Amino acid sequence: MSQASLPFDFRSATASSEPRVVDDHAEVDALFSLLEDDDCRCILDATDGVARSASELSEACDLPLSTTYRKLDPLADAGLLSKRLRISRSGTHTAEYERTVDDVTVSVTPSGVEVRVSHRDVTESASVTA
């Protein structure tokens, strides 16, 4: 399944402290596809508690900027990253990303594979820099 056409949206789970349970096969496969990708994992690691721009992530993960943007879209669409606007006093505004997921747990149940995604509270507002 293409990362660009994810059949789920974890953003609704971010408002709740309860983990989101994923048991639909297509959703599990799409989530695993994102999590098995080395570049996506690097981006998730680099955004743990720190909001970074695509340029900053490109440098931190040693990725071409075009690859970074290609990975950011499905991660943000899936709600694994939050996207907000960094407003600069100089007038240059930049999108910045921060990881919203704390934990992903995989369980084998009598009905099949179940994935629980726990989210942290990340404010999706604009930040101001000097």
pLDDT tens by residue, 2-27: 444 444 554 444 445 677 887 777 88
Note the CATH number of domain 20-119. Answer: 1.10.10.10
Helical ranges in 3-130 per DSSP H: 11-14, 25-36, 38-46, 54-60, 65-77
pLDDT tens by residue, 54-73: 999 999 999 999 999 999 99
pLDDT tens by residue, 73-87: 999 988 899 999 888
pLDDT tens by residue, 39-54: 999 999 999 989 999 9
pLDDT tens by residue, 90-130: 778 889 999 999 888 888 888 878 888 888 776 544 444 43
Give the chain's length.
130
At 89, the amino acid letter reads: R
Domain boundaries, given as residue ranges, for the chain: 20-119
